[in-house]
Amino acid sequence: MGLGYVEKDLSGAVENLAFYDNIDLHVGYRLHGHISFLRRRKPSFLIAEDSRSFGIINTPGLCVGGVPALDDSGEVDGELHKKLSVMIKKELSSGFRSFYPVFKFIDESYVNSVVPYFDGFARERGWKISPLVAVVESVVNQFKLRFCHAVLPAFPLLAGGLERGVRKVQRKLRRQSA
């Protein structure tokens, strides 16, 4: 514990990401931590130190909150702490508004890419509806959500319910096919 923050190594198993459940802000090098925060509709500042992170912070739709760890000469940026401080203060003062388009991008990508993929997957197997779509529709109806707009405040609840629901449907399908 330092200046009011906790430094924690969460590398390794995906289960380690559960540590973030009750954390409001992420600042760090871990790409999967950054993605985990964004999918939870929480702000994250990714310090890009490798090609994967650099790719994310330069991808349209996902580029908010990213800062390269290296300067133009390939050395560690000696001004990184100042750049992060300015970015975080700016976002705090605006209520993290520049993150909203990222959250919308995630929702739209889900609706336009993930759902059609699983629908096609289900149709190829002769299922009436994909398990993922059934669970999402159930959760959306249960919480009276509309994708892309009303999801922001309720998304952590939606994400948790979705993950549990998908596992439940997967278990049911395995029992039916056995």
**pLDDT value of residue 45:** 94
Residue type, 8: K
Would you state the structure tokens that stand for residue 36, as one six-digit string?
A: 């985990």
Would you state the structure tokens that stand for residue 138, as one six-digit string?
A: 């159930």
Return d(Cα 109, Cα 142) in angstroms, integer: 22
Q: Other C-beta atoms within 10 Å of 23: how many?
A: 16
pLDDT-derived band at 176, boundaries 50, 70, 90 = low
Lowest mean pLDDT among 39-43, 74-78, 132-136, 142-146: 142-146
pLDDT-derived band at 86, boundaries 50, 70, 90 = very high
Would you state the structure tokens that stand for residue 106, as one six-digit string?
A: 């995630």
Q: Which of 3-7, 103-107, 126-130 reaches the highest mean pLDDT?
A: 103-107
Return d(Cα 102, Cα 34) in angstroms, integer: 12
**pLDDT value of residue 18:** 84
pLDDT-derived band at 120, boundaries 50, 70, 90 = confident
Q: What digits encode the pLDDT tens for the residues 91-117?
A: 999 999 999 999 888 888 887 888 788
Whether residue 131 is predicted with pLDDT greater than 50 in this model: the reply is yes
Q: What digits encode the pLDDT tens for the residues 22-56?
A: 888 899 888 888 988 998 889 999 999 999 999 99
